[in-house]
Homo-oligomer: A and B are copies of this chain.
Amino acid sequence: MSEKPFKSLTLKELSALLDLDQSTVSRVVNGEADKYRISQATQQRVLQAAAAHGYAANNVARSLRLKRTHTVGVIVPEISEGYSTSVLGGVEDELLKEGYFYFVVSHRHRPDLLKGHPRMMIARAVEGIIAVDTPIEEDLPVPVVSVSGHKHREGVINIELDHVRAAQLALSHLKELGHTRIAFIKGQTVSSDTDRRWSAIVHQTKALGICIVPQLVVQLQSLDPGPGPGVEVTRQLLDTGHPFTAIFAFNDITAIGAIIALREASLRVPKDVSVVGFDDVLAASTNSPPLTTIHQPLRNMGQVAASTLLKLIREGTPHPQSSTLTVYPRLVVRKSTSQVAGREV
């Protein structure tokens, strides 16, 4: 039709062409012709001309006028990483469906970005914010939904995994296989899930009659998103000389690191040591051996986060109740766990 695609006219130009007022054209284009009882003839003319010239309203002007940007912000720790991007997939599903777009920013645990990014997004007039595994440190003037946030800030809705159930699934699986000396790798202190997960484990070991041996509990330090930190910490575990037959790792990448360290020490997985991961990111199934792990419905968590945020935006409640939506884990048994052997390491 037009020579330059998208080189769209303005409303004013289009109206001039049609010899109609802007307001009339605006009404027809926005599907409010009936409401204003605009004649069929006029409607036809407008619609045809709009199509012919590829008219599309300037969204910036529209946003200014309507005070709605149909944009939300998403903040994640690290963009090049499986956990966040699985959630993002779900966020996208829901948002695009409703005509919303989103900005993504990553903070990499830098305090300046943790504070600055939400502000910048607000300055960009986002209508709401989704924080993935990221603490929100101040009150924000838009609705906030947090995925694995755990801060319970006033007015923030949390999408959270049932960690007690997760611990139960993992630990009873290990117990059934005969493991009693289990080593634990806790997450970095910066990760919002760390405390919750650990409390749940402590709780469930009691329920199941499993002892936690303090020497068999280590914590990730380095923020490196790869398997390195898991390797490091597993070496420490082996160095202590305390025997164990299984490791419950903070996440899949850490579990993969643990397996690397175990192999270095000539220990076979799962024959000598069983390893359980957490998250069920893509790498869990492609690893060799494929990881037994706790599946988090990450994509679904993203969908729930997005649809919840959209609901808050629609309702326009300035300070909704802080509350929690719980999602449920699943045990995925693959090849990194097996019946405990006679020999302990």
Contacts and interface: CB of A to CB of B under 8 A. Distances in A.
A286 B285 contact: no
Interface stretch (A58-66, A164-172, A178-186, A238-246): A58-66
Interface of A: 4-7, 56, 58-61, 63-64, 69, 78-82, 85-86, 88-89, 92, 96, 101-106, 119-125, 138-141, 225-227, 253, 256-257, 259-260, 263, 282-283, 285-289, 299
Contacts of A5: 138-141
A269 B125 CA distance: 53
B69 A80 contact: no
Contact of A119 (B4, B6, B123, B289): B6
Contacts of A140: 5-6
Copy number in the complex reads 2
A127 to B, nearest CB: 12
B138 A299 contact: no
A256 B286 contact: yes
Contact of A226 (B63, B80, B256, B282): B282
A58 B96 contact: no
Given A226-B282, A287-B287, 6 more contacts: A5-B141, A6-B123, A6-B140, A80-B86, A80-B89, A92-B104
A77 to B, nearest CB: 12
Contacts of A81: 85, 282
Contact of A286 (B102, B104, B283): B283
Nearest to A138: B5
Nearest to A68: B60
A119 B6 CA distance: 8
Contacts of A104: 88, 92, 102, 104
Nearest to A141: B6
Given A59-B124, A60-B64, A92 B119 contact: no
